[in-house]
Structure 1
């Protein structure tokens, strides 16, 4: 057997999947780590905890290979994008990892967005002006942490740091680079104007390589820990969103991928860069010849987790007694409520929001509560609110890319039949769910196979996806959702002027508590 490993360094865990050249999964691993929110707007990770998770996940899947008769052809990587680590002149970290969800640079994002350069920067880089981008994060460091900024000789994200520690290589793939807000997607090089705004030079950023770039030289001590041969070929890969599209099979024109994991996204793949005059969507590279266009949302499965922990804490104990997953119990409860939650709407902006409103100060809210509403209504409204938000991203994407021909969905939510049906009903289109839920790992493996000559093009992914299930929209629910979605959208617009005010109030009083 010839094996290839797809690894995904995600926001809350690192996953690894061992694929055989027969299209089957032979092993998988998932190693989690915490997200630190020690201050308002902070969303950080510890790079050493992630490095340990990468090592453990690799060790677990490699242990299933019999090297006496089988071959590990390569290991290919996916990672979360828009993470930032500042390094000193010896490539030692000066900070933890600021993840895409860190919003402390909101003030500086607003300054750029409201300047006469904001739209031009977006149109060159394909990255909406938002605190998620390295452009804004570095500005925050420069202004709020000048001691760190002055010592910083280099900047990178988590994948680049892991590669440096494991192999001693210093490089960034074009996919991750295109998500920074510092990279010109048309010229395929670091953008001088964006770097000037951030206060960084090209020498401080890693050289950019293609997704198929190969390297080897796993350090001896890591090879011993993982059982992975030191001469194994490793492939650079791309960022998780691009590879999720690839891994779910959404590679043809008009095929839309919807993903809901911790966060969520709606994306399509094109063969050329596409930007939006209204600045609502991103355009990032997959490789030098393919681009993924769409919109990410901050609020996906993590909002469901918030509902579980804060509205249904007692049900967690009940689920344990019944030997059931707490999320499954909550979706059963939500399923007892009719579509539309009897007029209860939920805006899921618990962590600000990216697409389509790009408002870091956005806040969540229930609207329409009456005495007839119960916790069951609230949990269904939470699930529906997440889907409504994704639908607004699709509407923006349709304006620049046309009507979708097919919708493929993946992510942790895809295990829920209620959520699958809800997605089909709100989108009013059939939704197909692939069997393989770890789409980013599969996308990484496909990049690796193409790099290694094991595949000629992306279509090889169809051999690996396995069985699919399709959910057709239920016409009985159309009228309800057609009435509620416009109300949801209008409410967002009407509340938007107050988001900054309530955010300012929350920050002020949270700082006062910290001082006390």
Structure 2
């Protein structure tokens, strides 16, 4: 029998899933690792931890293969915006600087104030934000000259893993379009962005199609994974675009909403489109599928903060959700802006900070829990409004990610958007999409629309019309507040940084 393995290089864990060629899941394995943070905004990972997680998870699913089974390929989804500095001899100079790292905020704000920042956005489709490797490189140049001066190569985490396995220096098109350094219209590294970053093209990897195949890995790694040395490895794409494919949201007007640690809302177009107000991103799935959307920092991490800080870790997520469910829509007039670690879309402000608004003596922790759930969704609704301006109306919403296990959270989403929310049966969207890319790379299928047959049935959550007036009244307040508070975010963020420095 023939099988494929999809691998998802996530922010806090790597997952491998063994599939039959029809998309049926046979086995899965997940291996977590630490995301190192500190008050400076650092968010880094040890690439060795991720590399070992790849070897281990593939091994744990490959043991389900019998001797006469055939492993057709291993294909990858990856977290976006990561950056690793390497010497001329490929020695590591840095850990993996992740999308969540905000240390480049000062240089990002300086670039945004110039006309160059917006011009770069228009060419690259990546908003000017500390998440992007462009900003990270400017930060390295100014704050870590000892690393910047020695660095002769820059990789993303998937490029690092493929380099270890196959001695190649490449990056897939999808991941390249999220660097802030790649021209999405000319499909090459952007000279203006590289000049601002202070690097040259020979320091960047060769850009390849997501359907590129590598073979002939180093034998010691094949042995550790328990798979043949000549197994085909397909480059695949970035996790955001693949999430759309994985939930069957690649047709016009079909949006994918994902909430895990962070979140995003995205739609697919047949050509790259940028926003005149620079609120949305544009990343490639492949050359004929372009994903336009907005990512949010504020997702499951915010609810984890509720559990740990508001409830002292004494209640489970389910128990907190039960409390929140006892509070009516609108949380009795309590709003929450979920910007605990800055925010990407829709405000693109790494200095943004969270806040409760409307708090009174009648509110309890249950109100606060409900308000947090609603705040995450109202923030996504703000992103959706800007997305509609760029790509047109949304006529269908597919949802995926850890939040889909909470019926209350999905119901809040349906009520705020006033649309049905469809949750596909398969929740392994990233890995499933990766193996669909592999099937196209291998010539098994001609069209990505084969995903129609693989995602399974949808469970549809219908909006409750009785809540519409409540959210219609509250959402404009939420949006106006985000704009009003914007002028003070940098002041409170600078104050917090000063306090953190004094504590050291």
With structure 2 as the length reference, what TM-score do the two structures score? 0.99
Range moving further from structure 2, 35-44 or 414-423: 35-44
Q: CA deviation at 1:173?
A: 0.3
Q: Give the SS at the match of 1:117.
A: helix
Alpha-carbon distance between aligned partners in 2 of 1:39 and 1:165, rounded to the nearest angstrom: 32
Give the distance between the partners of 1:443 and 1:108, measured in 2 at CA: 36
Q: Which runs of 5+ in 2 are unaligned?
A: none
Aligned partner of 2:462 in structure 1 is: 472
Q: Secondary structure at the match of 2:77?
A: strand
What corresponds to 1:79 in structure 2? 78
Paired with 1:271 and 1:432, the residues of 2 have a C-alpha distance of 23
Query: Equivalent of 2:482, from 479, 492, 508?
Result: 492
Deviation at 1:161, TM superposition (A): 0.6
Match of 1:342 among 308, 332, 351: 332
Q: Provide, for residues 134-186 of structure 1, a one-character-per-residue CA deviation record: whole Å limited to 9, x for no partner.
A: 11100000000001100001111111111111221210001110000000000
SS for the counterpart of 2:220 is helix
TM superposition shift of 1:106: 0.7
Structure-1 separation of matches of 2:359 and 2:143: 41
Aligned to 2:21: 21
In 2, Cα distance between equivalents of 1:344 and 1:113: 33
Name structure 1 gaps, 5 residues minimum. Answer: 317-325
Task: Tell me what 1:137 maps to.
Answer: 136
SS of equivalent to 2:295 = strand
After superposing the two structures, state which structure 1 stretch, 15-24 or 481-490, moved more: 15-24
Matched, 1:220 2:210: no
Q: Which residue of 1 aligns with 2:367?
A: 377
2:10 corresponding residue in structure 1 = 10
Deviation string, structure 1 residues 4-28 (Cα, Å, up to 9, x no partner): 1111101011011111023310001
- Structure 1 stretches of at least 4 aligned residues deviating more than 3 Å after TM superposition: none
Q: How much is the aligned-residue C-alpha RMSD, in angstroms?
A: 0.9
2:148 counterpart residue number: 149
Q: Deviations over 1:216-253 (max 9, x none)?
A: 12211111111011100010011000000000000101
* Residue 456 of structure 1, CA deviation: 1.3
Deviation at 1:314, TM superposition (A): 4.9
Contact 2:23 2:432 in 1 (8 A): no
1:505 maps to what in 2? 495
Per the TM alignment, residue 328 of structure 1 is displaced from its structure 2 partner at its CA by: 1.6
The partner residue of 1:393 within 383, 392, 396 is 383
Alignment of 1:121 with 2:120, yes or no, is yes
Separation in 2 of the partners of 1:233 and 1:294?
32
How many angstroms does 1:460 deviate by?
A: 1.3
**TM-score normalized by structure 1?**
0.97
Does 2:300 match 1:310? no
- The whole-number CA distance in structure 1 between the counterparts of 2:236 and 2:21 is 19
Bigger shift: residues 252-261 or 38-47: 38-47
Equivalents in 1 of 2:495, 2:250: separation in Å? 44
Q: How far does residue 467 in structure 1 lie from its aligned partner after superposition?
A: 2.4
Aligned pair 1:360/2:340, yes or no? no
> Is residue 241 of structure 1 aligned with residue 240 of structure 2?
yes
